[in-house]
Amino acid sequence: MSSIYQELKQECYEANMQLNALNLVIYTFGNVSAVDREKGVFAIKPSGVPYEDLKPEDIVILDFDNNVLEGEMRPSSDTKTHAFLYKNWKEIGGVAHTHATYSVAWAQAQRDVPIFGTTHADHLTTDIPCAPPMRDDLIEGNYEHNTGIQILDCFRDKNLSYEEVQMVLIGNHGPFTWGKNAAKAVYNSKVLEEVSKMAFLTLQINPDAPRLKDSLIKKHYERKHGKNAYYGQK
């Protein structure tokens, strides 16, 4: 008997496999989810399942209150973070979380990733934010739910838009990204990892490397995302 969530499960499965193919995950670490706003549900990878064993039918379906609607396996341990973001940010269609090396290194250093070059500026006009490490009382509480609060607090404190900045580092933890769908969330995870790597290498070559000047930030961002964007094909 086919599931009414079959397309959503397939989307989620393919995004998770792409996360693995792009070398953004170690063993079973990391996860991607995909949302169906009309049905008020999202799909996410089951916890601890090796990517080589994962099948579309293994994907778990939940509502935004973390109730499992379909699936025999336990969902990802990060599920409550995904649910919190979907519930609060109405325009996102996919969320990804990895333990990719350079992204995690910046998170462990508790530092924003500075905007040094045009690769970064092609995707956003600000430094990639790093949320402060979670407070002890939140760690002892509903940890994964509170990770979502941690992300929203970071964006509020830094006055950032989740629609413009589609990535964040969690201090001492790692990256979360999102986008219009699961594939875009994975794309943003790869961008975040590569930009983090480039920034790290930049500081090794020149610890005093200057931030990219505003005119270049504006030019590179707007040629891809501005009202008169001309990058790519129509």
Q: Which residues are catalytic?
A: 122, 231
Are the CB atoms for 95 and 76 separated by under 8 Å? no
Pick from 136, 175, 137: nearest CA to 154 = 175
- One-character DSSP codes across 21-75: HTT---TT--EEEEEETTTTEEEEPBTT--GGG--GGG-EEEETT--EEE-SSPB
16/21 Cα distance (integer angstroms): 9
Tally: H helices and E strands in the chain: 8, 8
232 by DSSP, 3-state: which? coil
C-alpha span between 217 and 176 (Å, rounded): 23
User: What's the sign of the alpha-carbon dihedral 191, 197, 201, 206?
Assistant: positive
Residues 58, 38, 30: CA angle, nearest 5 degrees? 35
Tokens 């995004």 appear where? 15
